[in-house]
């Protein structure tokens, strides 16, 4: 199989090794598709990639699609050393390695391996202690794609897995004395299931786990993430000189997330979200400034544009976030102002209650849109009363009649200008929506990884507010619900 180079001429794994396999494994001509051929299904077999992972490579990631889980679903995805092949027909990755380690005196000859198994969701790791297996993630079968991430950049060298683009969480650390594993770790697959078949992706196709793609991040910075060199820090330093640049914040946040620097990633993403909310408020106030009783047709246009561009959830989120910010500011005001705000809040809650009753009576889209417009008007009125936004002052009745007539003649021109302002606000909100989706997704994943589940749930629900059909957020929330249920039962 042809070897390819990538990133500073490093030779990376690109296919399965046809010269390092069991007789019970068939490989296609591309070196990526495998199938298990033992008719009895009792032999455990292992195959490794064509090249080890270079120690200079700061990160490595590959994915395996399960095309057929076979008779019993016993498939293991992970990494192992070549020394673990006392017999490549006797073990699954991470199992027999422990006994081999104890039997070999020479440190350099000691094998190591780990694998996430599909039949029971357990992790098998030669360095995990006794027993060498532990419950880890959900089971997997035909149609699922399993990703395996290896981080060699940080002091705590570690592995985690993904399932269908969703991070399952930390799996295991590599041995403290890592030097003997340098340039000896291979991506591997273990099979012990009759008729099982899988296909690997070493980067020739786009990964399902979007964190391991250059989406939303500059190509040069993305490539720098993978090499353990000063290049990464140099690119990050350049981005730090652009503290208010949203593209810089999203690139830096994702770069930190890729490299496992979760604290820094969370700080950047939080700053990005705050910046987006602030910019969103400006466009939102501009939008609601166009809501006037005198121009009902313009109000209808606003309603249709909001619906067409799927901005309902974003607008509701912006109103909620801004309410929260302003409530914090109002706590510092005099008690009289606080009482006045509480009265306004009570009135709004009563109105919201009335609106909820109306929605229960009629669930049509038209009424939901009408309720959003009403909410916008109430939101504007509330902020205007609190002096938090300023809208154009209405002219007094009884002004010069000629001026009124002139305004009527210029009404068409004025309306065109207002429509331009509307389109500008809508365009800005669409851009904000796209960035906010990315930021909430990344921060939600960080909180999930570091097990701050309440914060993760909050971000994911906000993401679903903005993007109701996000399958990734729904799957993570499903995993968190399962976790909470198991914790309660325990």
Mean pLDDT of 224-247: 81
Note whether 79 and 223 are same-domain residues: no
What pLDDT is stored for residue 328 in this prediction? 44
Residue 394 lies in a domain: no
What pLDDT is stored for residue 390 in this prediction? 47
Q: Which two tokens stand for residue 390?
A: 């300023």
Report which listed range, 38-52, 356-370, 391-405, is most confident.
Answer: 38-52
Mean pLDDT of 296-306: 77
Residue 401 lies in a domain: no
Q: Which two tokens stand for residue 247?
A: 């593209």
pLDDT, greater one: 455 or 41: 455
Residue 433: pLDDT over 70:
yes
Residue 35 neighbours by CB distance under 10 Å? 18
Contact assessment for residue 104 and residue 84, using Cβ atoms and an 8 Å cutoff:
no
Residue 203 lies in a domain: yes
What pLDDT is stored for residue 393 in this prediction? 42
**pLDDT grade for 327, boundaries at 50, 70 and 90:** very low
Distance separating alpha carbons of residues 392 and 399, to the nearest angstrom: 17
Mean pLDDT of 88-96: 68
Min mean pLDDT across 267-271, 322-326, 452-456 is at 322-326
Contact assessment for residue 35 and residue 47, using Cβ atoms and an 8 Å cutoff:
no
Note whether 253 and 195 are same-domain residues: no
**pLDDT grade for 370, boundaries at 50, 70 and 90:** low
Q: What angle do CA 27, 28, 29 make, to 5 degrees?
A: 125
Q: What is the mean pLDDT of the chain?
A: 77
Min mean pLDDT across 103-112, 161-170, 209-218 is at 103-112
CA atoms within 13 A on the CB side of 372: 24
Residue 404: pLDDT over 80:
no
DSSP 49: B
Residue 81: pLDDT over 70:
yes
Residue 381 lies in a domain: no
Distance separating alpha carbons of residues 421 and 290, to the nearest angstrom: 9
Residue 439 lies in a domain: no
Note whether 204 and 235 are same-domain residues: no
Which residue reads 């705050």 in tokens?
A: 274
Cβ burial, residue 337 (10 Å; 0-12/13-18/19+):
middle
Residue 310: pLDDT over 60:
yes
Distance separating alpha carbons of residues 352 and 345, to the nearest angstrom: 10
Q: Which residues is 66 bridged to in the sheet?
A: 198
Note whether 244 and 202 are same-domain residues: no
Min mean pLDDT across 67-81, 210-224, 264-278, 341-355 is at 341-355
Which residue reads 């999203």 in tokens?
A: 250
Note whether 20 and 74 are same-domain residues: yes
Note whether 172 and 269 are same-domain residues: no
Note whether 76 and 204 are same-domain residues: yes
Min mean pLDDT across 341-345, 395-399, 435-439 is at 395-399
Residue 144 lies in a domain: yes
Note whether 203 and 230 are same-domain residues: no
What proportion of the chain, given as a percentage, has pLDDT over 70?
Answer: 71
Residue 2 neighbours by CB distance under 10 Å? 7
Residue 356 lies in a domain: no
What pLDDT is stored for residue 117 in this prediction? 94
Contact assessment for residue 70 and residue 141, using Cβ atoms and an 8 Å cutoff:
no
Mean pLDDT of 432-442: 92
Last residue of a domain, one of 194, 212, 230: 212
Note whether 130 and 257 are same-domain residues: no
Residue 143: pLDDT over 60:
yes
Note whether 201 and 252 are same-domain residues: no
Mean pLDDT of 145-165: 88
Contact assessment for residue 124 and residue 79, using Cβ atoms and an 8 Å cutoff:
no
Last residue of a domain, one of 212, 245, 271: 212
* CATH classification at residue 98: 2.60.120.920
Mean pLDDT of 6-14: 76
What pLDDT is stored for residue 178 in this prediction? 67
Provide the domain count of the chain: 2
Residue 42: pLDDT over 60:
yes
What pLDDT is stored for residue 52 in this prediction? 92
Cβ burial, residue 421 (10 Å; 0-12/13-18/19+):
middle
Mean pLDDT of 279-305: 74
**pLDDT grade for 118, boundaries at 50, 70 and 90:** very high
Note whether 109 and 203 are same-domain residues: yes
**pLDDT grade for 3, boundaries at 50, 70 and 90:** very low
pLDDT, greater one: 226 or 314: 314
At residue 167, what are phi and psi to the nearest 5 degrees? -70, 120
Task: Say what the pTM is.
Answer: 0.75
Residue 79: pLDDT over 90:
yes
pLDDT, greater one: 386 or 156: 156
What pLDDT is stored for residue 485 in this prediction? 67
Domain that holds residue 239: 219-280
Three-class SS of residue 384?
Answer: helix
Note whether 39 and 124 are same-domain residues: yes
Contact assessment for residue 124 and residue 154, using Cβ atoms and an 8 Å cutoff:
no
Last residue of a domain, one of 182, 197, 212: 212
Distance separating alpha carbons of residues 438 and 434, to the nearest angstrom: 7
Residue 150 lies in a domain: yes
């Amino acid at each position: 199989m042809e070897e390819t180079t990538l990133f500073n001429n490093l030779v990376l794994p690109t296919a399965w090794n046809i010269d390092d396999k069991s007789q019970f494994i068939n490989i296609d001509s591309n070196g990526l598709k495998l199938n298990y051929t033992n008719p009895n299904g009792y032999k455990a077999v292992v195959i490794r990639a064509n090249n080890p992972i270079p120690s200079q490579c700061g990160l490595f990631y590959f994915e395996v699609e399960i095309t057929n889980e076979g008779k019993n679903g016993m498939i293991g995805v992970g990494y192992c050393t070549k020394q673990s092949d006392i017999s490549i027909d006797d073990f699954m990755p991470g199992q027999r390695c422990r006994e081999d380690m104890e039997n070999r005196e020479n440190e350099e000859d000691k094998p190591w391996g780990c694998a996430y198994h599909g039949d029971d969701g357990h992790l098998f790791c030669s360095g995990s202690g006794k027993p060498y297996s532990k419950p880890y993630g959900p089971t997997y079968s035909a149609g699922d794609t399993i990703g395996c991430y290896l981080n060699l950049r940080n002091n705590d060298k570690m592995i985690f897995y993904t399932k269908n683009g969703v991070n399952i969480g930390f799996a295991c650390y590599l041995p403290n004395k890592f030097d003997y594993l340098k340039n000896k770790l291979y991506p591997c697959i273990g099979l012990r299931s009759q008729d099982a078949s899988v296909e690997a992706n070493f980067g020739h196709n786009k990964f399902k786990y979007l964190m391991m793609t250059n989406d939303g991040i500059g190509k040069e910075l993305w490539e720098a993430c993978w090499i353990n060199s000063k290049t990464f820090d140099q690119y990050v330093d350049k981005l730090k000189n652009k503290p208010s640049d949203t593209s810089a914040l999203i690139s830096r946040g994702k770069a930190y997330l890729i490299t496992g620097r979760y604290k820094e990633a969370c700080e950047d993403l939080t700053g990005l979200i705050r910046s987006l909310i602030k910019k969103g408020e400006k466009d939102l106030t501009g939008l609601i400034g166009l809501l006037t009783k005198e121009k009902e047709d313009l109000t209808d246009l606003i309603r249709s544009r909001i619906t067409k561009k799927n901005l309902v959830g974003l607008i509701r989120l912006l109103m909620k976030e801004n309410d929260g910010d302003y409530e914090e500011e109002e706590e510092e005001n005099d008690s009289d102002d606080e009482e006045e705000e509480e009265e306004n809040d009570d009135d709004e809650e009563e109105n919201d209650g009335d609106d909820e009753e109306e929605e229960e009576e009629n669930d049509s889209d038209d009424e939901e849109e009408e309720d959003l417009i009403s909410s916008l008007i109430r939101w504007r009125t509330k902020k205007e009363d609190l002096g938090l936004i300023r809208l154009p002052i209405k002219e007094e009745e009884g002004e010069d009649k000629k001026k009124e007539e002139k305004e009527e003649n210029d009404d068409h021109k004025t309306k065109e200008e207002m429509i331009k302002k509307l389109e500008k606000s809508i365009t800005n909100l669409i851009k904000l929506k796209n960035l906010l989706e990315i930021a909430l997704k990344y921060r939600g994943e960080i909180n999930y990884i570091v097990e701050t589940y309440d914060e993760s749930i909050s971000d994911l629900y906000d993401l679903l507010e903005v993007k109701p059909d996000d399958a990734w957020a729904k799957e993570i929330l499903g995993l968190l619900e399962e976790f909470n249920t198991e914790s309660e039962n325990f």
